[in-house]
Structure 1
Amino acid sequence: MSDGAVGTGRAFGTFGELLQGVLPEHDRDFLVTFPVDAWATATFQHTPDRPDIVVGPTTKLKSHRLVRLALNELGEGGGGRLTLSSELPEGKGLASSSADLVATARAVAAAFGRTFDEPAIESLLRRIEPSDGVMYDGIVAFYHREVRLLDVLGTLPPLAIIGHDEGGQVDTIRHNRLPKPFTARDKREYARMLVELAEAVDSGDLRTVGRITTRSAEMNAKLRPRGGFRELRRACNEVDGLGLVLAHSGTMLGILLDGDDPEQDTKTEYVRRNFATLGGEFIGHRSLSRARTGV
């Protein structure tokens, strides 16, 4: 057996979404990504004389499917070995599955000295599952069920997140199939918030971003109530946080802080100490800046 070239790809995850809901026009589900400095990495070695595809860990069945789709799209035969590693735990709402798939697509293409652009990656993922828009650098509005870009919003100044994991896992596929209980009024509010959020990202208005993320988390309670919401909202107020940010289809809820806040460590320790009765685990994350989103 001869081994072919090796390619590597990466993709960042997200801390939930800055905004997620349903828009009034055609009732289209959408989200706004919140890239964080946590990554999935894929390494692919082509085996030109064997059709087998071997993936490690073996549980990554979606990435197994994507390797074959990517090879076909590139017009390449054979198979290969894919190795995945990730800083993103599964079932938490951190875009772990989407990041795996995007990293896989990039690794397969890189093995042949080629690249997939973002629409090409969308097309590959669309054949597998709904997806976050982590194939795009920066913050984007994304039709996740359609795996299609809505708009590029840009980037924000650095943010820190005091994340709270309530424990367990959420099946994102099952969650996406739930009927959405949002009214026509709710959908109009989501549309207004999307416009406001785009303007806030463009101007770097972190207070408005925090207000919108908090409202989105609040509205999501119609679909999936989140334990500890009131307590974390109080914690956010006590440390003068910007707002709450939710993994709408996961287990994470976080307090947003200005990434340049000199009291960031003190505030994080205050929340951990004074709200330990919530149970679960507090985990810190940092957003990605413009300079660091490129792969």
Structure 2
Amino acid sequence: MMSPERDHLDYTANKRYGVGKSYGTFGELLQGVLPNEQNFLVTFPIEKYSECKYYPSVTGDLSITPQGKLKSLDLARKLLSYYDKPVSGHLVIDSELVQGKGLASSTADMIAVSRAIEDVFGMEIPVGVVESFIRDIEPTDGIMHAGIVVYYHKKLELRESLGSCPPLSILALDEGGEIDTIKYNQVEREVSQVDKTEYQSLLSDMSSALRHHDLKLLGRVTTRSAILNQKNRPKKTLDSMREICDSIGGVGVVTAHSGTYIGIILSDDDPDYTTKREIGLESLRQLGYPVEVFNSCSSHYVKKEVPV
């Protein structure tokens, strides 16, 4: 393997290396199938990141660390070839997102790679170009778009942006195991017309909840989505999580629909936030699974009052 430190004299760009970064998502605020047969999800951006450093070179092959990040390596090759750049150098990915858990780890890796390539060569790669190449690799989560978005994850197409994410925390537990996103999405699941109509209504409610900063409505939608998802990827702790959420006055339950995480949403603006967090975490620990707190990506959030 090429050493990125030793081979820096061969770099073709002004920078010795480029850096790219992408946040992940805690499962989905909502996921389902609409009456038009489109599979969709609503992202939940979190402050957990994947970072890539790209050390370009005019000689040698293109390699990656960790070696198992083959999807990211594939995307890098496609992008470099598309823009007529040397398909060589070394990519180093450092991620806070655990694979196979429903945190969009592989998508975040790939977006970080594309942004590192942009950084090295001082160019802007249109989102549509990145999506077109990822489409050949795997279904994806829509996190290449800022804020909360409604995304057709199987056809890799943005439906709409719902704005920035409110300041929220997720008291989460991991039920264990690992899910292969590609295999999961290859299975065609029967969704009734009744459920499709309900998903359409839930999506409308989610949009309204975010426009009006109605966290109670948001929580009802996320909880209902978690319940409906029991037909596809059931969570053993859903009933317990709902009971704990109700007992501490949480916003609602949220799940990684094709992952292993499930969590309780709290509002960071809740005057009883600290107490609810402490009691909630203790109750989660008693369920016997690893527990973690995630924070929403809300640094640019601006609350807008929308008249009813």
How many corresponding residue pairs?
A: 290
Alignment partner, residue 47 of structure 2: 37
1:3 and 2:11 are equivalent in the alignment: yes
Q: Which letter maps to 1:113?
A: G
Spell out, residue by residue over 1:187-226, the C-alpha distance to the aligned partner (whole angstroms, 9 max, x if none).
Answer: 0111111111112112211111110000000000011111
Q: Is 249-258 or 152-161 further displaced after alignment?
A: 152-161
Alignment partner, residue 93 of structure 1: 102
Spell out, residue by residue over 1:257-293, the C-alpha distance to the aligned partner (whole angstroms, 9 max, x if none).
Answer: 111224323222212323433211111011011528x
Spell out, residue by residue over 1:210-250, the C-alpha distance to the aligned partner (whole angstroms, 9 max, x if none).
Answer: 10000000000011111011000000001100100110010
Alignment partner, residue 231 of structure 1: 240
Task: Decide which of 252, 261, 272 is 2:261's aligned counterpart.
Answer: 252
1:280 and 2:289 are equivalent in the alignment: yes
1:21 and 2:32 are equivalent in the alignment: yes
Alignment partner, residue 4 of structure 2: none
Q: Give matches, 1:75-94, under 5 Å.
A: 75-94=84-103
Alignment partner, residue 223 of structure 2: 214
1:259/1:3 CA distance change after superposition, 3 Å: same
Note the residue ranges of structure 1 that are not aligned, 5 or more in a row. none
Q: Which letter maps to 1:167?
A: G
Alignment partner, residue 188 of structure 1: 197
CA RMSD of aligned residues (A): 1.4
- SS of the residue 1:291 aligns to: coil
Q: Which letter maps to 2:224?
A: R
Deviation at 1:156, TM superposition (A): 3.2
Q: Percent identity?
A: 41
1:167 and 2:176 are equivalent in the alignment: yes
TM-score norm. by structure 1 comes to 0.94
Q: Which letter maps to 1:43?
A: K
1:221/1:60 CA distance change after superposition, 3 Å: same
Task: Decide which of 99, 116, 125 is 1:116's aligned counterpart.
Answer: 125
The answer to whether the Cα contact below 8 Å between 1:141 and 1:149 also exists between their aligned partners in 2 is: yes
Of Structure 1 and Structure 2, the greater strand share is in 1
The answer to whether the Cα contact below 8 Å between 2:66 and 2:92 also exists between their aligned partners in 1 is: yes
The answer to whether the Cα contact below 8 Å between 1:74 and 1:109 also exists between their aligned partners in 2 is: no
Note the residue ranges of structure 2 that are not aligned, 5 or more in a row. 1-6, 302-308
Q: Which letter maps to 1:172?
A: T
- SS of the residue 2:300 aligns to: helix
1:104 and 2:101 are equivalent in the alignment: no
Task: Decide which of 161, 166, 181 is 1:152's aligned counterpart.
Answer: 161
Q: Give distance in 2, aligned partners of 1:275 and 1:76.
A: 50
Spell out, residue by residue over 1:92-128, the C-alpha distance to the aligned partner (whole angstroms, 9 max, x if none).
Answer: 1001011001111111122111121222221121121
Alignment partner, residue 69 of structure 1: 78
Deviation at 1:169, TM superposition (A): 1.2
TM-score norm. by structure 2 comes to 0.91
